[in-house]
Structure 1
């Protein structure tokens, strides 16, 4: 059965929620139904687009990739990231989120938020756009903060994050993504919220986990975050197969008679 917003929320407290990213129909079809949630993440700017961070990604590019994924996802809940610069104000957020929601075909959108974006979450929710706020380490702030900074190291920061999470829940968020955060505050947030939390680099006390597919399957090796576990040495397996293919062609082993008309 298709995971919907309501059934997704019921997963809280009923086992861990599984999530993964996807950027195209080929991989989305493979992942669909194997995980509870698929995210068309702005991480595609790096692993797919070759950029050093997520900031260059455009709204049109996000719509394009979300459309490709939504065509084949029939079971998992589908979320799409709002790219950098597409939700600077409530007016632009509503306009661009509506466009992504309508044209992309996702079940919900995700936005990176701080205290200044609480009203935005309420505004989007009030307009029928299911919204997952993203707190903690926010990749779209990579240049502003001068790198990827782990959050929740001080008591003040922990208290602020918990307060923010509660306000976002009250604003209508259906779920919350917590990235790059000390595990104890991610645990406290999870325990104090009625909505599900999804963690990435935030320990194992959140309601679920998400990883970027190219990280976990060993295709992206520009750098490897501490929290990533590789489940496949994909790059090396693929390179080995390509070399075998090239060798077979050069030595007239491919195509053989059975592969010819």
Structure 2
């Protein structure tokens, strides 16, 4: 049965902040849940609801800024939003994206960018790309930067892919993704996020790597799941990926509340007499 709207799941008495706890969860078969968030109020609510981790994703370009992709998001913007989320959810694992153009020039650029995000409150730094990022992941790992590698559908490559297309569908493509995941984990990545790949492939990569895996459209065989907050709350204005699930008619509720307020103002029913 669905929970009543507004009913909160009590926060679990468990360590969600440390990466070591995520390693233990993988060994123990404990599935964890993450969500994106971009500000203090939603981060606070997510923590109160018992979420395990929060990603400040460059998805904010599409969900918050109204862009058609993630490519115009800047490092300064991610730094700003990371600070907001870290203050709202101090007990959750905080993961922050390296946006397009902030790390591709080489390991030194990636370290400088990652350092800004760690100072802002991130616990883990996520970067997109497969085998080409092995050197960078190793460089960051050797310098105390926890990394989550992101493979499969990597939105920063959307123009190269020709759209938001599912990856790893052929035998050769799947084999390359497995090699990528293994190489990135061996280079020091502490987590591997897989987006929009076939369910069996997500499960196979989860078996192949010792670090926790996070799936978004990668099936139920991963160690954790993540969804975009605005998809979960029904606040997305346009396209919603087929792998997402909406748990609330957030847009309808917000429109109704604002409309009700406007009607009361016009009817002089608001503000009340004091």
Q: What is the TM-score of this pair, normalised by structure 1?
A: 0.95
Q: Using the TM superposition, give the Cα deviation of residue 6 of structure 1 relative to its aligned residue in structure 2, in angstroms.
A: 0.8
Offset, 1:15:
2.1
Equivalences for residues 128-143 of structure 1 within 5 A? 128-143=144-159
2:169 to 130, 142, 153: 153
Matched position secondary structure for 2:88: coil
Q: CA offset at residue 107 of structure 1?
A: 0.5
Task: Report the counterpart of residue 19 of structure 2 in structure 1.
Answer: 5
Q: Which residue number corresponds to residue 136 of structure 2?
A: 120
SS at match of 1:38: strand
Q: Residue by residue, what CA displacement relative to the aligned partner does 1:144-199 show, whole Å, maximum 9, x if unpaired?
A: 22101211111111111111111111111111100010111111001122111110
Query: Aligned match of 1:28 in 29, 43, 51?
Result: 43
Q: Given that residues 125 and 173 in structure 1 are in contact (C-alpha distance below 8 angstroms), is that contact kept between their aligned partners in structure 2?
A: yes
Stretches (4+) displaced over 6 A: none
SS at match of 1:110: strand
What's 2:82 paired with? 66
Q: CA deviation at 1:71?
A: 1.6
Q: Larger deviation: 2-11 or 80-89?
A: 2-11
| Alignment RMSD (CA, Å) | 1.1
Match of 2:113 among 92, 96, 100: 96
TM-score (structure 2 length as normaliser): 0.91
Count the aligned residue pairs. 257
Could you tell me which residue of structure 2 aligns to residue 41 of structure 1?
57
Residue 68 of structure 1 aligns to a residue whose secondary structure is: helix
Displacement of 1:2? 4.9
